[in-house]
Structure 1
């Protein structure tokens, strides 16, 4: 099997053995355009909080990473029986009825380009969507914890309509990249139930009503017509690899292609964490928390709960933090003196390793700081991307390692808020499973265990999304009867990889109480919103 994981800055292909999930070859391709945050390739400037991508970068992953992974695996292409992909979500683009991205015809129009998941410029539109839904008592709103995010399909679609109505009119399809890339592979349009449910407000077989959408904007009434009318089960066969896609990937024409899916969601299968109560945190630039349950509950501030959204037959819950690794990266780029970088180099360490080593030497609370992890806004449980980061307690004696540790702790506190919200809503978390790139930082993982005061399990693969996609491909190709069986055979995790220290856990309870005071105050004060408005006005 081949699994292809499309991330924020790169795409990865992994060749996986069907019998046991062994990863026999892999390759990574960095996107040439990366994330377009300041300007389009032609020079057109973008506004605050924009984040776009290029679909040609995604095609290049198929052309470059997949063939390289086959070579690395040393297996004949003819032995591959299926391929599956996963994507960041909500990463969404306008296309023609044939699936051609509009940015290829209108390269100087920002709204013609795919909007990456962390495009947050649609927050005012999300606010209107939420306010009207609450006023009308729309039944779907509770499935999203009372608010939908500015990252999701409808908020970005309303922004498209109101800021570039011409491109909106030309967009026959408004489609998740997770589904679009499958269209590129198969030549057949399909929509996975996961992305439709979590990002497209598709609940109980329907989208929000036309009369509700018309109240937002009369021209928005027909928006659902740009989305899918039918959705496909996860792990199902979306189609067969076309001759064109076979030429790109060097895979056999006609092999099975699975329904598109979300990077975080497929990781649950890679960790064999597809049973009720197992929460999987995929920790990277951001963190996504996913969990399945046999019961439906209203959980405040969740990204969504969708029937069959992660594992067929169960309710799938999603929550998340918009900034985690991105926050640490921002601080290292902007807040660390050159002398620290040199000291790290002298020890043969990168700067993150060096700061973690220094921070680990401290007792809990010794830095005198507490931070809010909202540098990219808050996805859960406040669902507000106009919020911003905060560090309290700095003095002239504060050092870079103090701030670095406080930021790590803040992201752990944010995760604790999410876990507690699940449990207070009647959805117990019986096992916390960590996955993603941040697992390599053992100090960070121990902080999370201490803050949560519970053992952490760790995924057995360092390529969880790609492996998870391969597991879905195995189901689509008929190698396993269902996702649970495939995950048991091909996925895995190490249980109790980290256990909390009672003394540190007790000390973190005190700091967490202070975090909650800040969290609750600044969620309601309006200060951060006013500052952002002033910034946006000054940027015009």
Structure 2
């Protein structure tokens, strides 16, 4: 959610470093190089005091074990580390240290962060390991006491939280099938992750990242910067929000469960052919916090077309529905874009908080035209983390074996078979795509006016 480093990202991307081809053609302001450059330029005292810069997941592992080994997941996905540098010599958990060429030191020097690679890259990571690699001697006595666990308990090298969700939701028994699936980790933002045996370069979509989620598969990572956060924003900033919250509390349901019930009631009252059609006059471009992919435009803004003076709960429900649909059209755009560049995605896997919202999942299935598999385990990110712990404890030979044993599919949500639903969403999707094109035109018009 931190987009302060847009200017730094633009300056880094203008240099066209070779490492940029492995992050969709350019770094995002959500990645670490532009964020670090922002800190250096704006918080110089903090910069001079720091002895290490770490992702949260690497920090937690370091705090638990005292071992500063970094994760292949964090370094490749966020730090421009080239994990495939010596891929022919690597096998799952065979080794701990990668050759120095995984870090492109010229890149860091060119962007003004050469001090980070001094001292054998001590500040950003001297050694990198596959997720699940056993760190140090396990929990230190201090961390074990703080956690209420035994000293020496194995701790595995980490995954970024969303990527842990991917490990916790993917079934790996069929190599061909796994490459046709995309994981949606749906929370404050949404990560869209697909794997392939061959590296696929997709403009505007992060990656290809070698072994960053599942060992020896290339990871493609799309995303939307605000999804759950956007729904919260739409609901909480509406005039009907306090009344809605009171009604939800009185019925002992969540606000979103109540909104879903209101929409079902409205569809029945209006005798419409299907619930989605309630939003025919309301269209949402969900780029309220920029577009992470596939247009990779952090300056993009959100659009709501079809506002009225209505302040009722029912109208809030319509805005909520149209926003869910806008988010789903964004996912459709990502899927179509990835498939146009070599993927063959035909099935989605969903986890995270939003995946527990039945309307959210059904709208995604209908709009994208793919079945969505929900995991048997509700907390897939925690399951993915437990896979790492099991591998670190030598309960399994590697991530693949642990996933085969621990992961399982649950409910499958299929797209509607009603051809009217597809026709409706195809029409709204065209409007969705046009909203961004109109924004670009408006931006150009205003830029000329200010010259």
The alignment's TM-score, normalised by the length of structure 2, stands at 0.85
Superposed counterparts of 1:42-61, under 5 Å: none
Report Cα offsets for 1:391-450 as digits up to 9, x if no partner: 012234582111111111011011111111110000111321011111221111110110
Report Cα offsets for 1:237-296 as digits up to 9, x if no partner: 122111001101111111211001111112222223343222110111111111221011
Match of residue 236 from structure 1? 133
Q: Select 2:301's aligned residue among 388, 399, 419.
A: 388
Report Cα offsets for 1:486-521 as digits up to 9, x if no partner: 111111122633333432122101100110111233
Match of residue 268 from structure 1? 166
Verify the 8 A CA contact 2:346 2:370 in the aligned structure 1. Answer: no
- 2:287 paired with 1:374: yes
Partners of 1:519 and 1:512 in 2: CA distance: 12
Q: Secondary structure at the match of 2:297?
A: coil
Q: Secondary structure at the match of 2:54?
A: strand
Match of residue 64 from structure 1? none
Verify the 8 A CA contact 1:382 1:523 in the aligned structure 2. Answer: no
Superposed counterparts of 1:124-523, under 5 Å: 124-133=7-16, 138-203=17-82, 204=85, 205-210=101-106, 212-217=107-112, 220-224=113-117, 225=121, 226-239=123-136, 240-274=138-172, 275-337=178-240, 338-360=242-264, 361-362=266-267, 363-367=275-279, 368-396=281-309, 399-494=315-410, 496-502=412-418, 503-523=420-440
Structure that is richer in helix per residue: 2
TM-superposed deviation, 1:336: 4.1
TM-superposed deviation, 1:346: 4.6
TM-superposed deviation, 1:128: 1.0
370-379 vs 495-504, greater mean Cα deviation: 495-504
Structure that is richer in strand per residue: 1
Match of residue 96 from structure 2? none
Partners of 1:462 and 1:529 in 2: CA distance: 47
Match of residue 3 from structure 2? 120
Report Cα offsets for 1:338-371 as digits up to 9, x if no partner: 4434444454433222222223444434330111
Q: Secondary structure at the match of 2:70?
A: coil
State the number of aligned residues: 407
Structure 2 unaligned blocks of 5 or more: 86-100, 173-177, 268-274
TM-superposed deviation, 1:297: 1.0
Partners of 2:53 and 2:446 in 1: CA distance: 29
Q: Secondary structure at the match of 1:289?
A: strand
Cα gap change, 1:468 to 1:171, in 2 (>3 Å)? same
Structure 1 unaligned blocks of 5 or more: 1-117, 534-540
Partners of 1:323 and 1:511 in 2: CA distance: 20
Match of residue 92 from structure 1? none
Q: Secondary structure at the match of 1:391?
A: strand
Task: Give RMSD over aligned pairs.
Answer: 2.2
TM-superposed deviation, 1:524: 6.3
